[in-house]
Copies of this chain bind each other. A is one copy, B any other.
Amino acid sequence: MDVKVYMETLGSRARQASRAMARASTAAKNAALMAIAQALRTQKAALLDANRQDVENARQEGLSAAMIDRLALSEKSIEAMAKGVEEVAQLPDPVGEITDLKRRPSGIQVGKMRVPLGVVGIIYESRPNVTVDAAVLCLKAGNAAILRGGKEAIGSNQAIAACVRAGLRAAGLPETAVQVVETTDREAVGHLVSMPQYVDVIVPRGGKSLIERISREARVPVIKHLDGNCHVYVDAAADPEKALRIVENAKTQRLGVCNAAESLLIARAVAPTLLPKIAAMLTAHGVEIRGCPETCALVPQAKPASEEDFYAEYLDAIISCKVVADVAEAIEHINHYSSAHTDAIVTEDYAAALRFLREVDSSSVMVNASTRFADGFEYGLGAEIGISTDKFHARGPVGLEGLTSQKWIVLGQGEIRQ
């Protein structure tokens, strides 16, 4: 198989299908989504069979238990997928919305219309549910999608793709609107990210090395999600109860997620009284504390932090900790060390809250709330295709709107430029 020719064929079909998707009615797109949910349910046995084979192969190849866990489907997880598809059908259709229509002195009316991006390429690792989540979000936003999953999930992904095709067919939409790359050749990724004539944007979902490789090779825009090195800053004017509750939730509710806190900053004025209590709570949860010298002086169980600790996304029961002078030093520290994902301040001081909101240069900035809220569902987007740590186009949780663009429209009555 000539992988380049194969990928160009997928790309050309996707570009063609994207035109039909862009003009598809909301009713047709929703009918396709409902039919996809239905197909996932009726094809459950076939999905489970295909997935069992993938899991069997993964065991033989010696994949880790964690990877096999992410790969495995169950009756319950298939039902959850189907429900998720139905929820996307309930979301408002973003396409065609016209905003800011204003009359200009020349007589023309100028405004913006929300339109699909076109063709979205998704590159991901082992979780087969990404196949259906990504497909249906792209579909609802009027895009065509090319999905490249991990090779260990190829059987499951093809079985899911068959359900998606059945749904598109039932609604009279082109089956090529969602295509799964059927080769596991690594070369396919290189071609997918360098066909600007066919692909408008790449969304990589997976580990840092995958995303860095794609960013390096891409010749099309990438909506990327790098680290989540999230901070909670406990200000001098923090309510101690809120500080304890928020740090506990942000760090310990789930350790391995990108919106978990990885670093605690605390104002010098309250560190002697408050930090030992917070540290005791963290220690009780089994969290190791790696601190600056002042932290270590106040918290006997803390270990000294290295410079690298302040950059780290542990995704584990470890937290870095630093005592800072005030909100200004906290902001400076965060803008230097943070991965620009999500950072929170705990304070009852109006000026400190406003300053933190304005100056912290991250995709989500919070006052008196847990970083764990940084999520498409919690923000009311209904669903998300990822969380962008870029500043460009889509920032933070990316839902349907991030999969669209706005073009300018001009409504005239025969006006010409003088």
Contact = CB atoms under 8 A, between A and B. Distances in A.
Contacts of A115: 358, 361
Interface stretch (A60-68, A282-290, A389-397): A389-397
Given A118-B361, A364-B410, A415-B369, A405 B391 contact: yes
B417 A361 contact: no
Given A23-B358, A104-B378, A245 B412 contact: no
Contacts of A104: 378-380
Interface in A7-62: 19, 22-23
Contact of A373 (B108, B219, B359): B108
A413 interface: yes
B357 A409 contact: yes
Interface in A240-265: 241-242, 245-246, 248-250, 253
Interface in A328-380: 332, 335, 344, 355, 357-359, 361-370, 372-374, 378-380
A238 to B, nearest CB: 10
Given A380-B104, A391-B200, A393-B392, A372 B416 contact: yes
A245 B416 contact: yes
A230 interface: no
Contacts of A166: none
A361 B16 CA distance: 13
A401 B155 CA distance: 45
Nearest to A107: B369
A102 B380 CA distance: 9
Interface residues of A, number: 71
Residue with the highest number of chain B CB atoms closer than 10 Å, among A344, A359, A391, A395: A391
Contacts of A405: 391-392, 395
A96 interface: yes
A359 B414 contact: no
B106 A367 contact: no
Contacts of A393: 392-393
Nearest to A117: B391
A6 interface: no
A221 to B, nearest CB: 5
A414 B245 contact: yes
B110 A408 contact: no
Contact of A408 (B201, B221, B335, B395): B395
Given A104-B380, A118-B361, A406 B395 contact: yes
A201 B392 CA distance: 8
Contact of A413 (B118, B368, B380, B413): B368
A411 interface: yes
Contacts of A113: 357-358, 365
A407 B396 contact: yes
Interface string A102-141: 1010101010010101100000000000000000000000
A22 B406 CA distance: 26
Q: Rank and list the top 3 A-B pairs by shortest CB-CB distance, nearest first.
A: A369-B412, A249-B416, A242-B414
Interface of A: 19, 22-23, 96, 102, 104, 106, 108, 110, 113, 115, 117-118, 200-201, 215-216, 219, 221, 239, 241-242, 245-246, 248-250, 253, 332, 335, 344, 355, 357-359, 361-370, 372-374, 378-380, 390-393, 395-397, 405-417
